């Protein structure tokens, strides 16, 4: 059984179809049609809802943390022990919530179909904001598409929503909600079982390892932002899933003397601070990684585990010489990430093995790391090319080189010829051009609807040129993203 709150109502489910999304659950199961389906693929945000969960700060103070998610990509089991807030839950005693009022006042709705999703994103923004901030607002809304307004009135509504702290029913009921969530806090492995399909929700790493060893055919579900597409877009059935996001050990971010150790099920949102501190370019890229809704759900381990050639974190992690810890039963092994990807969607992961954590070396002044994402649209788009350069330059000579790309091959991979053309050479324009030419030996990219192979190759070369310019002449402006 799993338990959660839908707005103020306690729901206990055990025989529900584990492949049911939260969107379907709200609209079809509970008859709450305020949340809309725009695409069922996490790309438009019309289905945005907010999940509230208990968090404890360093002083041991408990509070609720609210995050926006795409309900179309979230399976119901992910709600275990949490509060789901849908648009129906905002209006209180017949009065619009302050974010709803702001949207209406600012003329933020035209056709209205995207509006409840925007309202929920604004609600989460208000809960997490300490004042109006354009960048925060843009980040909160990057995953919500509006075809009518052109966004200006919605940004006005964001500003109005965050202008002054507005005590609402959620603040007033916080203690009570915490208590109710505490009362339903999972105590043992949860399960949804509809007869033909089941989803198991273990609470500890050992339980997970044991379950996965026993059910190697199961699909591991973390954020689900990729896996759910198999259900909503490819119309597959996932008969057995193991949901890993209740395993606390998998959601830790620790810093050792040499590494960041990031639990595989850590949502990208929670990876941001540590990675950004070490590598600002990693942080900058995370800002453009899908949308906030996706980053609130999607995990670093998932972005590696699904082995997509266009995942944005692997090229960066490879360039940083990151490793992963793989676990099977009691057994652990450490593997360099670059050795994990073998071919298109083929990895070195063995049956019953799962990614436990990601080890990212701490920043080292001798190396200069930069990352670049090139896509058609600045926000919430998949890279045509994603490049990461990590060079050590000593006395004008390249003494270390890790160069990795996404979108250029069937896997995220290092550009060995390019690295060879750099290593031991003077860091100058001539070397740079040789390294650019070598990229043509490293990669034979494909043409698809995102970009042609010619564009991919030239862009990859130009990104290396850009890296060179940034290192050599830092006063020169090189990024349009600085203007976003």
Footprint of another protein on 77-106 (CB under 8 A):
86-88, 90-91, 96, 100-101, 103-105
Instruction: Return the number of the residue (177 or 384) whose C-beta is nearest another protein.
Output: 384
Interaction residues for another protein, span 439-468 (CB under 8 A): 448-452, 455, 458-459, 462-463, 465-466, 468
**Cα 324 from Cα 336, distance rounded (Å):** 6
Position 23 contacts another protein (CB under 8 A):
no
Range 356-375, binding another protein (CB under 8 A) = 372, 374-375
Radius of gyration from C-alpha coordinates of the chain: 23
For residue 129, state whether it binds another protein (rule: CB under 8 A).
Answer: no
Strand arrangement, sheet containing 9-13: 9-13, 2-6, 83-85, 48-56, 62-70
Query: CB-wise, 45 or 52, nearer to another protein?
Result: 45
Among 43, 226, 338, 356, binds another protein (CB under 8 A): 43
Number of other residues whose CB lies within 10 A of the CB of residue 36: 21
Total residues at interface with another protein (CB under 8 A):
96
Residue 67's Cβ-side half-sphere holds a number of Cα atoms within 13 Å equal to 21
Among 153, 223, 301, 302, binds another protein (CB under 8 A): 153
The answer to the question of residue 69 lying near another protein (CB under 8 A) is: no
Between 15 and 342, name the residue whose CB sits nearer to another protein.
15
Residue 35 or 278 with smaller CB distance to another protein: 35
Residues 251-280 that bind another protein (CB under 8 A): none
Window 233 to 252, contacts with another protein (CB under 8 A): 233, 235
CA distance to 45, 133, 179, per residue, from 48 (Å): 5, 21, 25
Per the structure block, which two tokens stand in for 182?
A: 């505490």
**Contact range with another protein by CB under 8 A, out of 115-123, 190-198, 212-220, 312-320:** 115-123
In terms of CB distance, is 257 or 476 closer to another protein? 476
Q: Is 155 in the site for another protein (CB under 8 A)?
A: yes
CB distance 401 to 407 below 8 Å: no
Task: State both tokens at 265.
Answer: 């099920």
Contact flag: residue 124 with another protein (CB under 8 A): no
Considering only residues 7, 29, 30, 39, which one is a binding residue for another protein as defined by CB under 8 A?
A: 39
Q: Which of residues 372-431 bind another protein (CB under 8 A)?
A: 372, 374-382, 384, 393, 396, 427-429
When the beta carbons of 90 and 318 are compared against another protein, the nearer one is 90
Query: CA-to-CA distance for 222 and 279, rounded, in angstroms?
Result: 25
Q: Return d(Cα 137, Cα 482) in angstroms, integer.
A: 16
Q: How far is the CB of 477 from another protein (least distance, A)?
A: 5
Choose one: 150-158, 172-180, 201-209, 213-221; the region binding another protein (CB under 8 A): 150-158
The one segment of 148-156, 195-203, 355-363, 408-416 that binds another protein by CB under 8 A? 148-156
Cα–Cα distance list, 77 to 207, 470, 477 (Å): 17, 46, 47
Question: Which position among 65, 152, 182, 416 is part of the footprint of another protein (CB under 8 A)?
Answer: 152
Q: Which is nearer to another protein, 203 or 374 (CB)?
A: 374
Residue 22 interacts with another protein (CB under 8 A): yes or no: no
């Amino acid at each position: 059984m799993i338990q959660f709150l839908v707005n103020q109502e306690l729901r206990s489910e055990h025989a529900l179809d584990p492949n049911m999304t939260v969107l379907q659950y709200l609209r079809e199961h509970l008859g709450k049609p305020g949340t809309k389906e725009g695409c069922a693929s996490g790309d438009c945000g019309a289905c945005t809802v907010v999940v509230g969960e208990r968090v404890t700060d360093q002083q041991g103070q408990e509070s609720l943390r609210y995050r926006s998610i795409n309900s179309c990509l979230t399976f119901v089991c992910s709600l275990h022990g949490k509060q789901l807030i849908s648009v129906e839950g905002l209006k209180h005693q017949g009065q619009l919530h302050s974010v709803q009022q702001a949207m209406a006042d600012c003329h933020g709705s035209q056709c209205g179909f995207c509006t409840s999703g925007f309202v929920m994103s604004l609600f989460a923004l208000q809960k997490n904001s300490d004042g109006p901030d354009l960048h925060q607002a843009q980040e909160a809304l990057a995953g919500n598409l509006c075809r009518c307004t052109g966004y200006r009135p919605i940004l006005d509504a964001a500003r109005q929503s965050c202008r002054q702290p507005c005590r609402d029913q959620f603040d007033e009921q916080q203690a009570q909600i915490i208590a109710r969530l505490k009362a339903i806090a999972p105590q043992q492995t949860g399960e949804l079982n509809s007869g033909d399909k089941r989803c198991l929700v273990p609470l500890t790493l050992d339980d997970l390892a044991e379950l996965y060893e026993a059910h190697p055919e199961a699909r591991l579900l973390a954020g689900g932002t990729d896996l759910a597409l198999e259900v909503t877009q490819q119309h597959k059935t996932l008969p057995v899933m193991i949901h890993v996001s209740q395993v606390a050990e998998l959601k830790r971010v620790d810093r050792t003397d040499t590494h960041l150790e990031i639990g595989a099920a850590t949502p990208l949102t929670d990876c941001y601070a540590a990675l950004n501190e070490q590598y600002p370019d990693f942080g900058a890229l995370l800002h453009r990684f899908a949308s906030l809704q996706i980053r609130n759900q999607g995990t670093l381990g998932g972005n590696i585990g699904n082995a997509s050639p266009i995942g944005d974190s692997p090229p960066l992690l490879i360039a940083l010489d990151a490793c992963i810890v793989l676990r099977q039963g009691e057994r652990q092994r450490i593997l360099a990430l670059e050795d994990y990807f073998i071919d298109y969607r083929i990895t070195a992961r063995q049956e019953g093995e799962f990614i436990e954590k990601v080890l990212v070396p701490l920043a080292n002044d001798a190396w200069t790391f930069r990352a670049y994402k090139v896509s058609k649209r600045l926000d919430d788009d998949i890279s045509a090319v994603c490049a990461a350069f990590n060079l050590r330059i000593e006395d004008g000579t390249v003494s270390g080189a890790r160069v990795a790309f996404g979108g250029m091959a069937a896997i995220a991979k290092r550009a060995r010829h390019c690295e060879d053309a750099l290593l031991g050479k003077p860091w100058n324009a001539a070397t740079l051009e040789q390294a650019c030419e070598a990229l043509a030996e490293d990669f034979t990219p494909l043409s698809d609807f995102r970009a042609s192979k010619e564009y991919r190759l030239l862009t990859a070369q130009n990104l290396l040129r850009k890296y060179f310019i940034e290192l050599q002449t830092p006063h020169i402006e090189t990024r349009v993203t600085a203007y976003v």
